[in-house]
Amino acid sequence: MRLLVLDPIGMANSSYGPPPLSPRQKKAARGHGEPGARWKAPCSKWMTTGALTALVSGLAFAQGTGSVHGVVRDAGGLPQADAQVMAKDGGANADKVVTSGANGSFVIGDLKPGHYQLKATKPGWVDSAAVEQDIGAAENRPVELTLGAHEGFLKRLAHAYQDDWHPSGTSGPAPPRRALASPLNSPPFPNADWSYGGSPVIGEPDTNAPPLMQALYGGANGNAWEKSRVKIYGWLEGSVNFSTSQNSNYPTVYDIFPNRAEFDQAVVYIERIPDSVQTDHFDWGFHVSGLFGTSYRFTTNLGYFSSQLLDNRRQYGFDPVLEYVDLYVPQVGEGLNIRVGRFISIPGIEAQLAPNNYVYTHSLLYGVDPFTDTGILGTIRLNERLLLQVGLTAGHDVAPWTKDARPSADLCVSYTFNSGKDNVYPCANGINSGRYAYNNIQMLDNTWYHKFNDSWHMATEAWFMYQRNVPNVSGPITPEKGTNGAVCAPGQIRCFAPEWAMVNYVEKQLSPRNYVSIRTDFLDDVKGQRTGIKDRYTEATLMWGHWVGSTILLRPELRFDHAIDRPGYDNGTRRNQFQFAMDVIFKY
């Protein structure tokens, strides 16, 4: 069957039909009923593409531009879907990129007259040879592009890194999005959107394509991996620090061991993120991850392999950091996500996992607040600016089956305003009676993000936390293992132990792969229950972040800490601490 393509003014332009069956396709068709039965659907899809080509061609003629159409095939003649086809112009015109359809077909329209080089690429395949074409006004030229043979897994992985470190500078159209425009660029910054915890960003597509997954997508089961939307990825992080302290940098974290190189994190993620861009059907996701390194001490939960730290004080350990399922219901508000399992404590700027932070070392504020919670959290988007979160957990940093678990409530609101340049995120986190137990702190937190212009923004966080009935460090009651007592008034056996803190980040983007971070920080540990020393602390940090592609991050920093009331650093022997620290993150 042939299809005659006419332009809008009725002139015969060109005619072409579906791609002819290769010997390999004919052999496949013979095993599936009547000859050609397997290819009926592609034929009909080709007709649809032909109709689209007709429209593109007609518009091209009307505007004095041309177009190309064709099919991407493999070396055996089979059409290849989801290949990127680029028309590169030797002149000043911008390159154009489209994605081949289910039957390998593509159309690139609105091409200004000139000389073009056309090329097809697909993860896991050798790029097609470039095809040269001179395209004039009102021309619609056919092109056949043939991808090379599959590469081995290691070659595919190597090419994924090569493409990341030396990008072509072109990409396909942005995927659909049901949210405000992202205020930031990522990279260089950890996140493109004003972040909130406990949920994927509702309305934002999952565009993460780590090198490991690119290598898997190009393999024999690549289509199955893509359709499943399950991804496996992670990173390795190492660091070095030079400090004026000799025994301990604490309460500076994560580099609490001074003057040494460390292996901070080896992390693996296995996850599926629900599709929250669509609004017509229920979707689901899950996340399982594990962490090995010195950072395990900052994610340890009582009841989750916690004896490594609480009983044995190991420098290196393993923690199953996050395990949860996500249930996405688009019919509630503008989207409801229900998370069940163990997840990162929801408020705040910083996170336990290295790539999610502006700076290698963490703020004083972050070093003593909750890490992870286990429970259920609902996140509902009321509109594109307003979001509400309500949850019930077992309390901070404890498994539900431990004696320290307490039913605890979470309530947070995220509101974006000023044309997306500002966001506030107040949270009441882990609220219960507040009686002393393992990390049973009551947290009232607020975060404010503000964008000054395209290259400058800031993030500010403040919290007030407390516990009731905390044992006096000078009294007869021994604090629970892994916790501190409080410096209570003379004669008190237990007392109320509050603390408050504030941190500010000022961020400057220098280039697409470079940024500078300036952090200032204050912590008042009123009764010494968080750090073990009743003191007020300040710190200032200057850091430069440099990306190689989007898979390697280097973060050298200079940091100065000061304890105001009494020596609080180096195991209570120093008031001041100065250090140079740096980490390197390698993503896979």
Range of the domain at 393: 211-234+263-494
Q: What is the pLDDT of residue 172?
A: 66
Is the model's pLDDT at 112 over the cut of 80?
A: yes
Boundary of a domain, candidates 467, 494, 521: 494
Give me the mean pLDDT over the 16-30 stretch.
Answer: 38
Per-residue pLDDT tens digits for 560-588: 999 999 999 999 999 999 999 999 999 99
Containing 340, the helix (H) or strand (E) segment is strand 336-344
Residues 92 and 218 in one domain: no
Final residue belonging to a domain, choices 95, 130, 149: 149
Nearest to 436 by CA among 398, 393, 397, 479: 479
> What CATH number corresponds to the domain at position 100?
2.60.40.1120
Give a yes or no: residue 120 inside a domain. yes
Contact predicate 578/559, CB 8 Å = yes
The reply to whether 125 and 218 lie within a common domain is: no
pTM of the model: 0.80
393 in a structural domain: yes
314 and 436 co-located in one domain: yes
Contact in structure between 241 and 355 (CB atoms under 8 Å): no
Q: Is residue 567 part of a domain?
A: no
- pLDDT class for 124, splitting at 50, 70, 90? confident
Tens of pLDDT, residue by residue over 208-253, are 999 999 999 988 788 899 999 999 999 999 999 999 999 999 999 9
pLDDT on residue 431: 98
Token pair belonging to 278: 């669509």
Amino acid 125: pLDDT: 83
Domain identity same for 330 and 435: yes
- Which residue blocks in 257-343 are alpha helix, DSSP H? 307-310
Pairwise CA distance, residues 1 & 16, whole Å: 9
Q: Is residue 277 part of a domain?
A: yes
The answer on pLDDT for 11 being more than 70 is no
Whether 441 and 363 map to the same domain: the answer is yes
What confidence tier does 63 reach under pLDDT thresholds 50, 70, 90? low
Total number of domains in the chain = 2
Q: Mean pLDDT across the stretch 360-370?
A: 96
- Do 295 and 412 lie in one domain? The reply is yes
Is residue 155 situated within a structural domain?
no
141 and 219 belong to one structural domain: no
pLDDT of residue 92: 62
